[in-house]
Structure 1
């Protein structure tokens, strides 16, 4: 790092710290924004997204080298708009204090839970869905009455420009501020004493984020990833099973934290799976790697990572089937899915989240073996089960841990507005989306209110005379 670059970084870190303190001061001046002001912010955000949807599609395509506009509309813009609509309809109910039971021991009293904004929220955004993963968390943060600082990825500069301009047209920096920069800036960002920090990214970086947050006792929501399995059961109709999972692997060229990372198929059915995958891929993307509806790997660095993992598999004599003759475009860093049959567990692609168009196909002899295969590995962010067997559905739902699950589908469970999204263990912690997002960015504060009558005096010393007799009766009544 040159002296000039270091100086520039220091100036940026100083500006970032100044913005944080400005947001904190403004929050302290207005700690509980009313319903009307929150809804106004959300409506303005929705209008700005719709007004800039074409600019965002163009910018994302420029950042990726090529990204299907439909991918952006479906996975970045649409979920945000739907989430805003859902939130506006339900926000008034979420904001109401909830009445709780005081119980006989505390009577007469009233107990309620009020939902306060936590304060200043930090949001760290990855490169794969920079709109959905910046605006998506911002929606519940604003709905809960907070202010927010957003650290955008350095790998999506064109999209960052549109997002920054979009937000600046609606919000003052003391309401929503956008930060850009590389690893040093990201590290300084996560070290700020936020009231809540939401990070979306890799498990390895998530560990660093959690360490940085721990110094400030900042609560964290970590949306990580991992190796999300697709289990095709023996009873599954293969064309239907492939139909339900192929789009989840091909959307954004598989660069999704909930994309199917590997697929488990019954022994003897791997060739049927591969043939069906090739058939359906060709129907969806007739020109293979040159299809306009198929997205590029985001940059040369990620393309080289995937290429190295593929070369390692070739060297290991792994069977590899490309799903289309036009499979790779080196200059445009584009790659169609490659299916790898029973690759060795020692390969890098079997140890780390793939995050791209490589798909291991693992065969199993019986369903118990398949379930154990999943259970013996780190808990994934998503789990996909292809079966019509109700007993098997119930078994996997109850016995196998994952952040979320879809039966006879893939990826689309994330789009459920009225359900939480989050990981477990190495795939993350905490939830957002829907009401859970509102709760994540709120402090649920219990308030006990008493009037003139104070029964608590019966529980204080000295425990002699009549007090002792009352205490004895109370304990006899309640300790049973």
Structure 2
């Protein structure tokens, strides 16, 4: 299969072939399990090639970060899908109530048909293969469009999937935003899109023409609230992992930190200690990922230039030669102290290694600030007091929450992953993904004898029965 760009005009024929094959031979549970097993085996054998492709696309990306974020997560999700597939696919009995006895009812998970997946560049394998594997588990055929910003990884995915699946079961299409727009406009049975909120709105508008059901995994400004009782050394270590893994190019990375004012400077010092311990003086920086491309690098530099021009403290937690930084797109972990709300970095999702650290006078003020923004994709609250955590959870509605750590709710297969409001709609991972990419078909089985046979004119004959039914 060629990895040349796909002409958007070719999409109707590709979709027709996928749908015709699905209608002719819907995948059985045995076929789905076999597909997932073969995908797992082929993928695991090619983990080194995957890491090499991602590193080449980023300019440099830590091999271990790729193995953790794009390798371990995919293998774990496939294992989870296979372990639960037969149970999830079983019809579930639903009570009919005494009025309709002796009928019986069930919810029967059935495949939808052809599912589209539009994947992003930041975790280009994870965010392509997990929705794809979920769609396969649910009995669908899939058309995948990887990101054009990671061409080597997209070629890797195309070769991998062509080896595992026949082209009428999984098709990979390559192209830019025009192809993504055409796919979003196509008559799919479901579409999974991962990307920015701005593009998500365009995808939703395009999908509306066919009323295509959507799972939108978007972004936003995910806050981390460090409460006054939580140890700062531990908070700094876990914030450092969440923020600087993949150089902050993570949709659920902490986008800003709220900390009680008396401990703000100490938290910055603890974060600097973490950076030195993890990355040294950046002379090598083998474990630190670069910014994906020049446009993103310029955008992030622009945030810092704007902050400095406004007199806002900007603290780079390491020193790197500017020429090398520009050449490698190497942006070191950077703190911005108390940036005004109208700065671009406080208006837009940062998606990079810049971390605003904002002091708050009390927890109520911090919560009010979070509530004033769009509902976030992730929320991180650090407190050793259960009542304080419950107070935060009782006020903030977010896509997902990790308490006293960062990122990890994404990795729990049994927890649905998804946003709320501008941070997304729908969810996947585990059972939530299987159900979301299935139709839970309601089926009522009527018995040989049924009381409904009596519900017919002349109604005067069943006046007594109606009194019973209406009580």
Q: Which TM-score tier does this pair reach, normalised by the shorter chain? A: over 0.9
Given that residues 327 and 336 in structure 1 are in contact (C-alpha distance below 8 angstroms), is that contact kept between their aligned partners in structure 2? no
How many residues of Structure 1 are paired with residues of Structure 2 in the alignment? 466
1:412 to 405, 408, 419: 408
Secondary structure (helix, strand or coil) at the match of 1:211 reads: helix
1:275 aligns with 2:272: no
State the match for 2:143 in structure 1: 149
1:345 aligns with 2:341: yes
Residues 293-326 of structure 1 show CA distances to partners (whole Å, capped at 9, x for unaligned) of 0000001110001011111111111101111123
Secondary structure (helix, strand or coil) at the match of 2:110 reads: strand
Deviation at 1:13, TM superposition (A): 1.6
Deviation at 1:470, TM superposition (A): 2.4
Whole-angstrom distance in 1 between the partners of 2:321 and 2:98: 71
State the match for 1:135 in structure 2: 129
State the match for 1:433 in structure 2: 429
2:374 to 378, 382, 385: 378
| Structural mapping, 1:61-460, within 5 Å | 61-288=55-282, 290-326=284-320, 329-460=325-456
Deviation at 1:451, TM superposition (A): 2.0
Whole-angstrom distance in 2 between the partners of 1:15 and 1:154: 18
Given that residues 8 and 178 in structure 2 are in contact (C-alpha distance below 8 angstroms), is that contact kept between their aligned partners in structure 1? no
Given that residues 100 and 111 in structure 1 are in contact (C-alpha distance below 8 angstroms), is that contact kept between their aligned partners in structure 2? yes
Residues 448-476 of structure 1 show CA distances to partners (whole Å, capped at 9, x for unaligned) of 00121021123333322x2223223322x
Whole-angstrom distance in 2 between the partners of 1:67 and 1:235: 36
Residues 1:13 and 1:250: Cα distance change in structure 2 (over 3 Å): same
Question: Structure 2: 5+ residue runs without aligned partners?
Answer: none
RMSD, aligned α-carbons: 1.3
Given that residues 103 and 450 in structure 2 are in contact (C-alpha distance below 8 angstroms), is that contact kept between their aligned partners in structure 1? no
Deviation at 1:394, TM superposition (A): 1.1
Residues 163-199 of structure 1 show CA distances to partners (whole Å, capped at 9, x for unaligned) of 1000000111111111111111111111111000010
1:30 aligns with 2:45: no
State the match for 2:41 in structure 1: 47
Question: Structure 1: 5+ residue runs without aligned partners?
Answer: 1-7
Deviation at 1:327, TM superposition (A): 7.3
Secondary structure (helix, strand or coil) at the match of 2:335 reads: strand
Whole-angstrom distance in 1 between the partners of 2:439 and 2:154: 31
Q: Where has structure 1 moved over 3 Å in runs of 4 or more?
A: none
State the match for 1:4 in structure 2: none
1:18 aligns with 2:10: no
Deviation at 1:289, TM superposition (A): 6.8
Given that residues 288 and 327 in structure 1 are in contact (C-alpha distance below 8 angstroms), is that contact kept between their aligned partners in structure 2? no
Whole-angstrom distance in 1 between the partners of 2:283 and 2:381: 28
Whole-angstrom distance in 1 between the partners of 2:469 and 2:350: 62
Deviation at 1:395, TM superposition (A): 1.3
Whole-angstrom distance in 1 between the partners of 2:293 and 2:130: 24
Whole-angstrom distance in 1 between the partners of 2:8 and 2:177: 12
Deviation at 1:363, TM superposition (A): 0.4
Secondary structure (helix, strand or coil) at the match of 2:164 reads: coil
The farther-off stretch of 450-459 and 111-120 is: 450-459
